[in-house]
Amino acid sequence: MISPSLSPNTDYHDVLQSLRMLISPTQWKEGSALTWARQWFSQRLAEGELAFFNSGRSALLALLQAFGIKVGDEVLVQAFTCVAVSNSVLWVGAKPVYVDIDETYNMDPKDAENKITKKTKALIIQHTFGIPAQADKLLSLAKKHNLPVIEDCAHALGVAYHGKKLGTLGDASFFSFGRDKVVSSVWGGASYINDKCQIPNAKWKLREIEKKLQYPSFFWIFQQLLHPIAFSLILPSYNIGVGKAILVALQKMKLLSFPVYPEEKSGQQPDEFPKRYPNALAALLKVQLTKLDQLLQQRRACAQQYWTALKSHPEVQLLPFSKEAGWLRFPIQVDDPEKLLSRAKQSGILLGNWYHNTIDPTGVDYEAIGYKAGSCPKAEFAARHIINLPTNVIPEEASIILSYV
């Protein structure tokens, strides 16, 4: 089974670590792994404040709270994103204002400036697929209007922009360790506030927010530890139907969690968010972080292979190739994405479709989250035509995938 989203980073080291933690419940909530993760991030980011949470959306929520974003405020977010981003804005009582995208699937600086009002209190810069946004223009815009900048690095851990590490360009940033991100502990996220941030007491507030939160329940932690183990059985047998049956059964028994909770689709806040980041998941993260450079190198090589093969394809629209990008997935646009998805699926290849909705996933209530249809036409067009090729594959598998494009 080839897939960009079904536990793409998991190998036997991850499964072994999950098994070790599963039989060590005394280490599930507190332990040395989280200390190691803090040190790892501290060594790679500029001086500042770090905090860890049980998800990327919890990490963003904490930053908005630390920045004093409140009821009546507006926060610029891009369309062509996950509902988790806009929900964090909604959960502090503010209004997400959706900005259209440019040719890199990131925020369009021109449209961003058009949507700034007196109520605008922050700008969230997303680096979609690990492709850096036009950060210089967006940072200049934020400075002009005296707006703090939060970088969404959920897709972009380890990626640079003109030689500078993403996550260190603005006032703050957040990272995600979800099941289909650059590194994965199934759930988890981190917030970072740069020392250059001028918002009074923001770093202290972030620290206090993390301290006051509770850890997730033991059952929630158990669900996440089971994920790598379950997928070590699901993926090899997915093509013959057995793996898919196991996946559906485990989800129905609530032994595996979904990446988006049902109530989030209408802007509601599940009880699970926000919580602290448990040590058990930090232990999974440690295994992933030690192979970050290897993962990035593989993804870039795979993206280069795709780009070289498809750059002259008359029916495929590509981005210019970037050696700096992380290429969490390799996006292409085609006239009939459903036809391509179906043809590949018949041969056991599950191509991705981030984001096949202007605000993903399917079923999001646009009225509840404040998105007006037609307000971001380029994002809506991209959502209708996008396909993602997996970059977590070896060259031989990439060649097979290319045969279906």
Residue 303 near residue 391 (C-beta atoms within 8 A) = yes
Which tens digits make up the pLDDT trace of 83-97?
999 999 999 999 999
Mean pLDDT, residues 207-212 taken together: 98
Secondary element (H or E) of residue 310: helix 292-310
Q: Which amino acid is at 10?
A: T
Torsion of CA 139, 144, 147, 149, to 10 degrees: 0
pLDDT of the residue at 17: 97
pLDDT of the residue at 308: 97
Which tens digits make up the pLDDT trace of 176-192?
999 999 999 999 999 99
CA 356 to chain centre: 15
List the CATH code of the domain at 292-402: 3.90.1150.10
How many beta carbons lie within 10 A of that of residue 363, not counting itself?
A: 12
- Residue 239 pLDDT > 80: no
pLDDT of the residue at 202: 98
User: CA 267, 270, 274, 278 torsion: positive or negative?
Assistant: negative
Q: Return the residue matching tokens 């908005």.
A: 64
- Residue 98 pLDDT > 70: yes
Which tens digits make up the pLDDT trace of 35-71?
999 999 999 998 999 999 999 999 999 999 999 999 9
99 falls in which pLDDT band (50, 70, 90)?
A: very high
- Residue 172 pLDDT > 90: yes
Domain boundaries defined on the chain: 22-212, 292-402
Q: Which amino acid is at 49?
A: E
Q: Which of 150-164, 171-185, 246-260 has the lowest mean pLDDT?
A: 246-260
Sheet holding 95-99, edge to edge: 48-53, 189-194, 172-176, 149-152, 120-126, 74-78, 95-99
User: What is the architecture, at CATH level 2, of domain 22-212?
Assistant: 3-Layer(aba) Sandwich (3.40)
1 falls in which pLDDT band (50, 70, 90)?
A: low
Q: How far apart (Å, rounded) are the C-alpha atoms in residues 180 and 186?
A: 8
Output the DSSP codes for 66-82.
Answer: HTT--TT-EEEEESSEE
Around 244, how many Cα atoms within 13 Å sit in the side-chain half-sphere?
Answer: 9
235 falls in which pLDDT band (50, 70, 90)?
A: confident
- Residue 5 pLDDT > 80: no
Closest CA to 153 of 304, 306, 266, 44: 44
- Residue 8 pLDDT > 80: no
116 falls in which pLDDT band (50, 70, 90)?
A: very high
Output the DSSP codes for 198-243.
Answer: -STTHHHHHHHHHHHPPPPPHHHHHHHHHHHHHHHHHGGGTTTTHH
Which tens digits make up the pLDDT trace of 254-305?
999 889 999 999 999 999 999 999 999 999 999 999 999 999 999 999 999 9
pTM, full prediction: 0.97
Q: How far apart (Å, rounded) are the C-alpha atoms in residues 111 and 118?
A: 16
pLDDT of the residue at 2: 75
How many beta carbons lie within 10 A of that of residue 20, not counting itself?
A: 14
Helices (H), 82-166: 83-91, 109-114, 135-144
Q: To the nearest whole percent, how much of the chain has pLDDT over 90?
A: 91
- Residue 236 pLDDT > 90: no
Residue 167 near residue 188 (C-beta atoms within 8 A) = no
Q: To the nearest whole percent, how much of the chain has pLDDT over 70?
A: 100
Q: How far apart (Å, rounded) are the C-alpha atoms in residues 278 and 334?
A: 41
Q: How far apart (Å, rounded) are the C-alpha atoms in residues 197 and 21?
A: 37
- Residue 129 pLDDT > 80: yes
Please give the mean pLDDT across all residues of the chain. Answer: 96
